[in-house]
């Protein structure tokens, strides 16, 4: 078995999908988890990007169906988490409107991140290192602070925290471990980016979001594809078992090997 075949098997990506069946399966997966956990619903942070939009649509379908089937009120809480002023915050609100989310909350993380950064820089100063945090390090603090906010809300409301992780991110480890890579449930995990886009079109994600350049928004001008040095089309082709350019294959497999620790649970002895 080639490394490509091993990766595809591990991440459970299909070479093609029936979108309607995938939606039904993932909604059922969410419903079953909520019932078994005895929770009151789902929490999804809505960034304004396509991944969180698809997850939000699936969550809303799941809690709506549960409410009808049980006669109890289940909620999907959409959380908006700008860092200061977010230029595309209207896209987050557009997702909530498109899926008729009745419950939303906005938690601005700027002050909390600033305080953490100041304390880190004080710690560095104590080590004789006089500089600001790197923008990559501060970006990771943003991801982790967002998760602290989500889990604080979920605890108070007895909600399950839903992640937007999918196979095209997993293969590259393109998430902050124990930050945006640590959630309760991941309904998109076996889909590649192309397949997420297929679900987005089916669910009715607003067009401006479908047209956006993918970014984690960790610092100004950051884009996923520039950061990785690979396109999502190449990434998706690889995960569908197709041939890609040798240089792209080598880079993707190299990143996969380097990021193994992000896909693993905490090691013990």
126: in domain: no
129: in domain: no
Q: Which residues of the chain have pLDDT under 50?
A: none
123: in domain: no
State residue 125's pLDDT score.
97
44: in domain: yes
Domain of 88, CATH number, reads 3.40.50.620
pLDDT single digits (tens) 2-38:
999 999 999 999 999 999 999 999 999 999 999 999 9
133: in domain: no
pTM of the model: 0.93
As for how many domains the chain has, the answer is 1
Structural domain for 91, as ranges = 3-108+146-263
State residue 218's pLDDT score.
62
CA distance 60 to 103: 10
State residue 199's pLDDT score.
98
200: in domain: yes
**Can you spell out the DSSP letters for 169-219?**
HHTTT-S-TTTTT--SB-TTTT--HHHHHHHHHHHT--HHHHTSPP---SS
Under a CB-based contact definition with an 8 Å cutoff, are residues 158 and 72 in contact? no
**114-118 long-range contacts, CB within 8 A, separation 24+:** 116/141, 116/145, 117/141
124: in domain: no
Under a CB-based contact definition with an 8 Å cutoff, are residues 183 and 165 in contact? yes
- Tell me which residues are annotated as active site: 51, 169
């Amino acid at each position: 078995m080639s490394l490509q075949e091993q990766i595809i098997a591990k991440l459970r990506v299909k070479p093609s999908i029936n979108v309607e069946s995938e939606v039904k399966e993932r909604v059922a997966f969410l419903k079953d988890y909520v019932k078994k956990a005895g929770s009151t619903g789902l929490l999804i942070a809505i960034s304004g990007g396509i991944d969180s939009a698809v997850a939000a649509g699936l969550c809303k379908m799941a809690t709506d169906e549960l409410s009808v089937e049980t006669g109890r009120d289940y909620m999907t809480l959409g959380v908006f988490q700008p860092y200061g002023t977010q230029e595309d915050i209207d896209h987050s609100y557009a997702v909530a409107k498109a899926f008729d989310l009745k419950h939303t909350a906005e938690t601005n993380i700027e002050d909390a991140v600033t305080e953490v950064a100041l304390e880190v820089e004080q710690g560095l100063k104590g080590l004789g290192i006089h500089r600001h945090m790197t923008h990559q390090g501060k970006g990771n603090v943003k991801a982790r602070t967002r998760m602290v906010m989500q889990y604080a809300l979920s605890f108070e409301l007895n909600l399950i925290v839903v992640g937007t992780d999918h196979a095209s991110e997993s293969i590259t480890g393109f998430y902050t471990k124990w930050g945006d890579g640590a959630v309760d449930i991941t309904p998109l995990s076996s889909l590649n980016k192309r397949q997420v886009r297929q679900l987005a079109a089916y669910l009715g994600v607003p067009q401006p979001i479908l047209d956006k350049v993918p970014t984690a928004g960790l610092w100004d001008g950051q884009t996923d594809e520039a950061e990785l040095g690979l396109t999502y089309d190449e990434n998706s082709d690889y995960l569908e078992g197709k041939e890609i350019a040798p240089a792209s294959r080598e880079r993707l497999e190299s990143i996969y090997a380097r990021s193994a620790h992000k896909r693993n649970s905490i090691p013990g002895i």
